Amino acid sequence: MSETVFVITIVMAFAAGLFMAWAIGAVAIGGGAFAPAVGANVIPVQRAAYLLGIVGFAGALVQGASVTETVGRGLVLGTSTTPLAASIAILLSALLMALGAFGRYPIPAAFTVTGAMVGAGLALGGSPAWRLYGQFAALWVVAPVLVGALSYAIARLLAWNRLLPRYSVTIIVAAVFLVFPLLEFPFLGPVDESHSLATAVAVWTPSLSGVLWVGVPVAFTVGGAALAYRTVLRHGERETNRRLLIWLGMLVAFSGAGNQIGLAIGPLLPLLDSMSVSASPVLVVASFVLVVGAWSGAPRLIEAVGREYATLSLSRSVAALVPSFLVAQVGILYGVPVSFNEIIISAIVGSGLAEGGRDEVRARKLALTVVAWVTSLVGAFIGTYGLVSLLASRGLT
């Protein structure tokens, strides 16, 4: 009987992880990457969801390992999450996100999964990882303020009459290209390590390492600036911004999936370790399920985020996506799950304030969303802690 219960528990854990992967595609990144483009009427909702799934799949596979490790092993000290506790945590998290999606309120996976996994770990007798919680809280509190401010500044730059569009767009694209060679990927480093392109090139040529580490980002920056300048001259400001929105949406989808997929796979790591199974095949399957979530559930939230928080023009949408991409990559670098919907909405609000002021922002919708976020974090923690504690007291975990 014990073996039967164990098998059932394992099946439940993996089913819960896949359900969370679906929710991440439908909700966590579904409401973000292409919402500004949809809000600015650059791309239809269904096409946005299609692109979201394809690019998100690539991002989850390539950059998904960093946050996976943090969520799976670092949230609570002194204990490992059991399969049943992980199942409860993931299922409750995904259910809260699904409820938010049906209500057109994007609930961050980072909030629900973190709260639920901490609750499960503490209920099993673990100790709080206060230092890690401080990093999470700092990023979750500072990120929306920083993203909103950057979005505001970029929107103001694009609307500045004294600066010709070909120069303002060139500056923004150059800044994004500067970041490209600094992004870390596992295939550029040794086993179990990630390197950026700049670092990899520097390692490959030790005699010129210092020069190349600086030179590669500079070369990317110059190339991006030249491409943007030429595109504006050839196609005009409006068409360039339309193309830039799609391109930035793909970057944000890639980064968001890489940051968020760990929230589905991370809770399963203790179980995978006990079975001597690598996380790689599970990551592949979860990435496919993320695609299904993006195609089946994302359109509803893409439209909600793109049209219900602030009025978006082409320039405001561009301004919203650039800082969102940067913050998502910072989260991947440090292994911290970013509240992706939080930063996207903050960016949209910041860009809306830049041109139209308070009248361009739906304050009531924003306030209700913040309440939903806090409620989801607290509810995931309390609900999981209570259920796991009850089962543990009866010797069922």
- For 4-57, what is each residue's pLDDT tens digit? 767 777 788 788 888 888 888 877 676 567 877 787 788 888 888 888 889 889
Q: Is the pLDDT of residue 131 over 80?
A: yes
Percent of the chain with pLDDT over 90: 7
Mean pLDDT of 214-237: 89
For the segment 206-223, the average pLDDT, to the nearest whole number, is 83
Overall average pLDDT of the 298-319 stretch:
70
Tokens for 299? 């359109």
In DSSP terms, which residues pair with 127 in a beta bridge? 77
Q: Which residues have a Cβ under 8 Å from the Cβ of 276 and sit 6 or more positions away?
A: none
Report the C-alpha gap between 84 and 76 in whole angstroms: 16
Weakest mean pLDDT among 129-133, 220-224, 292-296, 358-362: 358-362
The overall average pLDDT reported for the chain is: 80
Higher pLDDT, 68 or 1: 68
Identify whether the C-beta of residue 87 lies closer than 8 Å to the C-beta of residue 12. Answer: yes
Query: Is it the case that residue 1 has pLDDT exceeding 60?
Result: no
Residues 368 and 161: their CA atoms lie apart, in Å, by: 36
Distance of CA 228 to the CA centre of its chain: 26
pLDDT confidence of residue 311: 59
pTM of the entire structure? 0.78
